[in-house]
Chain A
Amino acid sequence: MSNPHAILSDIHRLLSSYDREEFLRASRYPGLGRAIKSALLALASEAPTGGLSSRDAVDKKPSEKRLTQSDQKPASQDERLPLAASILKSESGETIGSLRAFATKQGLKLQFRPKESKERLARRIAGALIDLPETKRNQALASLLGKVSTQTQGWIDVIKGSKS
């Protein structure tokens, strides 16, 4: 095997073993040179965001690994948080009841837990949304964004009302 192939093969092995968070953590390791840090950041941008941790990668059978990486892609904390924040800012995020109604309407298979906080439920909803197939996910996000925009629409009405 020529050197370039060996290098690329090693890089792909790294990318399949570690997720973005792990590369980012490594890039913050004290005392790293600038070039190595840049290389780790580049790997982070290429790595799967919600991928398996290295331990998962070692523990799981190859067939399980493939299935998890390609089909399920569990949403990472990084991915869920911004979406969860948007959900909470939307009208659907006003109460636990409205969050549950949104999740039910979107057909998300979530078990609602008693005494679960709004923030935690929003994070679980965000995770479930990210794990949806693309078309369904886009529909759900459009519905969510549609609701967020009522705030903008409300301000437009206020301004129009002020001018009239």
Chain B
Amino acid sequence: MSETIALLNMKGGVGKTTLAFNLAWYLYQYEPANVLLIDLDPQFNATQCVMDYKTFQDHRKNKGTIADLMIDQPMMALKSNKKIKKNPANALHNVAKSTSHRLDLLPADLQLAWVVKNPAQMDYRLEKLLEKLRTTYDFVIIDCAPTDSVLTTMALTASDYLLIPVRPDRFSILGFFNLMETIKTFRANCTDPHTVKVLGIVFTQVTSTSQVEKESMKDISTAALNENIHVFTNHLKYSTSYIRSIKDQTPIFQTLWAQEKPKSQVGKIAEELKARIQAAVTTSGKAKKK
């Protein structure tokens, strides 16, 4: 039984990739669980978080990326495209492996932008792709693109849950309303009985140094509660250690230099996330397709 969680916010720079990367690592290492991290952003930052460029070049050449699984145009397809499409697991990159668990990445590249430009019949493509992959994994984490595009729709159709990272500033309040409108439109138009559940919003890059920030957090929390959306009690505080850990392709809790507080935050958010999923399963039963 896998849980598919999309990290979504159409506003950029809110820490989606940082949170997705760290959560995926945390769930693999401490749950411990089989985890698949999907990069669904043409900027492919999640891919750059876990692969060095040489490995990526080899991988793209020989195994392809998520773009190759989406694109039908033969001109753009790889030589090995048929083989990959037959078994999408061939396109995965193993990030870490223990005796019983693994953390894999489905990498992206800039070619994924083709999907945005050619959105016809793409809405359910990721969901279908996941049908072939998800049985192997306990958690599938999707790092979404900061756009309102077919990529967002694909993430919504393929996911069981949404997690919304939000930076506490004024634009994020407006971004939050944009996102809620997108989700409502999706729910209204989705022919599928499956409904993605919003697990809540997580504040990121919290400095706790200004009154303006406090007010923004209060405003966003009020707006979220009015929409019946949970606000995570745990936040990701701003820390330069995140910048450094991303540069070193290491989850923050594995670094030698980060202080205990930022190191422990990812774990606390992961635990709250699991509790939210458990609560959602308990209250509504699990009406989702596997």
Check A155–B256 contact: CB distance below 8 A.
no
- B52 contact set on A, CB distance < 8 A: 151, 154
Interface positions of B from 71 to 115, Cβ below 8 Å from A:
109-111
Bound: A159/B43 CA distance, A: 9
- Interface residues on chain B, number (Cβ under 8 Å): 14
| A89 CB–B CB distance under 8 Å | yes
A159 to B256, CA, bound (A): 31
| Identity of the chain B residue whose Cβ is nearest the Cβ of A156 in the assembled complex | B53
Q: Are the C-beta atoms of B257 and A82 separated by less than 8 Å?
A: yes
Contact B48 A155 (CB under 8 A): yes
Nearest-Cβ distance from residue B117 to partner chain A, whole angstroms: 14
Contacts of A89 in B (CB 8 A): 248-249
Q: What residue in chain A is nearest B248 (Cβ atoms)? A: A89
* B53 and A85 within 8 A (CB): no
Residues of chain A lying within 8 A (CB to CB) of residue B161: none
Complex CA–CA separation, A86 to B248 (angstroms):
8
Complex partner residue of B57 from A82, A86, A151, A158, CB under 8 angstroms? A158
Interface: A113 (CB within 8 A): no
Q: Is B56 an interface residue (CB 8 A)?
A: yes
A31 to B140 Cα, complex, angstroms: 43
B67 closest partner in A (C-beta): A162
B265-290 interface bits toward A, Cβ cutoff 8 Å, 1 = contact, 0 = none: 00000000000000000000000000
**Which of B53, B248, B255, B257 has most A Cβ within 10 Å?**
B53
**Chain A positions within 8 Å of B248 at CB level:** 85-86, 89
A36 vs B35: C-alpha distance in the bound complex, in angstroms?
45
Q: Are A163 and B257 in contact (CB under 8 A)?
A: no
Q: Closest residue to B257 on the A side, CB-wise? A: A82
A86–B256 alpha-carbon span in the complex (Å): 11
The reply on B184 being an interface residue by CB < 8 A is no
* A95–B132 alpha-carbon span in the complex (Å): 39
Question: Residue A56 at the B interface, CB < 8 A?
Answer: no
Q: A161: nearest residue on chain B (CB-CB)?
A: B57
A interface SS class: helix
> CB distance A85 to B48 under 8 Å?
no
Chain B, range 43-57, C-beta contacts under 8 Å to A: 48, 52-54, 56-57
Among A85, A86, A158, contact of B56 (Cβ-Cβ < 8 Å): A158
Residues of A78-137 at the interface with B, using a CB-CB cut-off of 8 Å, are 81-82, 85-86, 89
Query: Chain B contacts of A159 at CB under 8 A?
Result: 110
Write the chain A residue with the least CB distance to B255.
A85
Contacts of A157 in B (CB 8 A): 53
How long is the Cα–Cα vector from A155 to B44 in the complex, in angstroms? 11
Known interface pairs A159-B110, A162-B109; A81-B257 also in contact (CB < 8 Å): yes
| CA gap between A81 and B248 in the complex, in Å | 14
Interface bits B20-55 vs A (CB < 8 Å: 1, else 0): 000000000000000000000000000010001110
Q: Could you list some 8 contacts between A and B, CB below 8 A?
A: A81-B256, A82-B257, A85-B256, A89-B249, A154-B53, A155-B48, A158-B56, A158-B57
**Which residues of A line the B interface, CB within 8 A?**
81-82, 85-86, 89, 151, 154-155, 157-159, 162-163
Known contacts A85-B256, A151-B53; 11 additional CB pairs below 8 A are A81-B256, A85-B248, A85-B257, A89-B248, A151-B52, A154-B52, A155-B48, A157-B53, A158-B53, A159-B110, A162-B111
Please report B residues at the A interface, Cβ cutoff 8 Å. 48, 52-54, 56-57, 109-111, 248-249, 255-257
10 smallest CB-CB distances across A and B, nearest first, come from A154-B53, A162-B110, A82-B257, A81-B256, A155-B53, A158-B53, A89-B248, A85-B256, A162-B109, A155-B48
